[in-house]
Amino acid sequence: MALAYNHDEITPRELKPALLEMEGISRETIEAHYKLYQGYVNKRNEILGALASVDLAGANQVYSELRALKVDLAFAIGGIKNHELYFEHLGGHGGDPAGVFATLVRRDFGSVDAWRTDLKATGLAGRGWAWTAYDWDEGRLFNYIGDAQNTFPVWNATPVVALDVYEHAYFIDFGTDRGAYIDAFFSNLDFDVVNDWVQRYGVKP
């Protein structure tokens, strides 16, 4: 059982070699990006360690150590989960999805093109992330928007595509042309990975 004050350390997942050989998104970008991810893991470990000895009697909504640690823990954990999705489902050959994910996309967006257009627009409108996630209460996929690692996830929705639109994801390769980066993101998606997740989660079309 993992108690609330358990602060076992976690370690970063290894980077898939295919991520260093992508079209459009350079090795330089991925290596720098992976270091940021390692930073989120380190800070998550550090924050949980600090929480183990925080003074609960000092809790205060304006400022307190507990508040600061828990707010930034959400940022660090978001940074870990978002980037684990991002790195895991890149390194593929893009194109159109097949399998269960394609069926879900056509059902919930009308077509693959409509899904892609909506996700790209959501990525252009966000300041940090855009996610395709399955909302278990509504029983459908939707493209959600994020401004940071910890905004704005929706409870009981499971992300299956995670599009990082922080400038660190593309500035080296594309300058300010985020749209071109998003096109490269789609070209390097591995839909087999996405379909594995969808099947493992038991999402039914």
For residue 83, the minimal CB distance to Fe ion (Å) is: 6
The neighbour count for residue 49, using CB atoms within 10 Å, is 12
For residue 168, the minimal CB distance to Fe ion (Å) is: 6
For residue 41, the minimal CB distance to Fe ion (Å) is: 13
For residue 177, the minimal CB distance to Fe ion (Å) is: 17
The residues, any chain, with a CB within 8 Å of residue 173's CB and separated by 6 or more, are 24, 25, 26, 29, 181, 184
Ramachandran category for residue 151: left, alpha or beta (phi over 0 → left; psi -120 to 50 → alpha): beta
Residue among 105 and 182 whose Cβ is closer to Fe ion: 182
Residue among 111 and 176 whose Cβ is closer to Fe ion: 176
Q: Are 100 and 191 in contact (CB under 8 A)?
A: no
Question: What does the binding site for Fe ion look like in residue numbers (CB under 5 A)?
Answer: 164, 166
Widest pairwise Cα distance in the chain: 55
Residue nearest to Fe ion according to CB distances in the complex: 164
Residue among 54 and 91 whose Cβ is closer to Fe ion: 91
Segment (H or E) for 143? strand 140-146
Residue among 108 and 164 whose Cβ is closer to Fe ion: 164
